[in-house]
Structure 1
Amino acid sequence: MKTRLSACALALPLALTTLTGCGMTEKDSGTTPFAGTSTTRDASDAMEKVSSGVYDLIGVKGRTSDSRPFVAECTGKDPKTYFRIFHWWSFYPASAKDLDVAMERLKTELPKHGWKIVTYGPDTSKNRNINLTADNDQRKAGVNIVQRAKNDPPKLSLHVVSGCYKVPDGQEVERF
């Protein structure tokens, strides 16, 4: 359990650093792109649609966890007017053998739908989980997908994240 938590503790910051600064940038690397002006509810709905689009590309039968997007701060920006949306969820294939099929389909299909694969390969954990990170500059979104074949049950862990939004003038960020 301790090793598992340590690997997760190392993998999550790496995934978030990649999602917040790699290909999903406007001009200089390391900055989060501006995603536009939106209410938190509308931006949350948009991120659910992005997640749904990724789900559609998995192409194998299975079930998903029941999770909702949440609001987070944009580093270095006024937290009353700027925000990001994160949507973390899991996919459990109907058959463990379909986990590899799902990951390969995502690797193949994401680029056909506007995603640029930034990283792909095993992580440094004991389980050598396969990680795929991709950015969609048009949607100002990133996704990190981890194939957890040795989990019981096996699953894909998906982290979808938006660029920085600004709330409309006169409004404040709603936290949920």
Structure 2
Amino acid sequence: MRGLPDLRGITHLCHPPVLGAAQQTSSRILDMTGLKGTVTKPGPLPLPCDDYEPEGRGVQMRHNWSVYDLPFEELEKGYAHLRTALTEDGWRIVSDGPDSSKAKTPTMVADAPGGDHSAEIRLMDNRKDEDPTSVLAVTVVSRCFQETPGASPAP
């Protein structure tokens, strides 16, 4: 089992150092796309890590968000730009190509320098759908942190 940082003194995992790191990573990824569309609002949420003992003490931050209200071609350019910008920023692209769905959605998975965060980016072409809004969907996930005993992960 990988060692987890001691977060004593943090009353819950939405404390600025933990929550802020996930938000900052997401913000940096958005900046790297160069896109100026509409961005979904929900922030990072704490989720349990299954493989850590004692059970219930390992928690990771997960931030799902997307950019939309732009022509697909702009989203496509942002996706391509992100591939280059992530690499230049020290990220390691783990996989890059179509997923296994019928739509063969372009999907990129990258790990941040230092291993604190990973990101999955999907370029969803919905132009032929009933709702033709295409989306650049991003999921940022932190590594697992050890929750302070007795603390609640909820804000």
How does the TM-score come out when normalised to structure 2?
A: 0.82
When the two chains are superposed, the root-mean-square deviation of aligned CA atoms in Å is 2.1
1:111 aligned to which of 81, 84, 87: 87
Unaligned runs of 5+ in 2: none
Match of 1:154 in 2: 134
Asked if 1:87 corresponds to 2:67, the answer is no
Match of 1:174 in 2: 153
Whole-Å Cα distance in 2 between the matches of residues 171 and 63 of structure 1?
Answer: 38
Q: How many residues end up aligned between the 2 structures?
A: 144
Which amino acid counterpart does residue 44 of structure 1 have in structure 2? L
Asked if 1:58 corresponds to 2:27, the answer is no
Change (3 A) 1:79 1:55: farther
**Deviation of 1:167 (Å):** 3.1
Whole-Å Cα distance in 1 between the matches of residues 122 and 94 of structure 2?
Answer: 14
Which amino acid counterpart does residue 161 of structure 1 have in structure 2? V
How does the TM-score come out when normalised to structure 1?
A: 0.73
Contact 1:80-1:172 at 8 Å conserved across structures = no
Query: Percent identical across equivalent pairs?
Result: 24
Asked if 1:144 corresponds to 2:113, the answer is no
Structure (1/2) with the larger helix percentage = 1
Contact 1:34-1:164 at 8 Å conserved across structures = no
Larger Rg: 2
Contact 2:49-2:56 at 8 Å conserved across structures = no
Change (3 A) 1:67 1:166: same
Which amino acid counterpart does residue 165 of structure 1 have in structure 2? F
1:46 aligned to which of 21, 24, 38: 21
Which amino acid counterpart does residue 73 of structure 2 have in structure 1? K
Match of 1:3 in 2: none
| Partner-residue secondary structure (3-state), 2:5 | strand
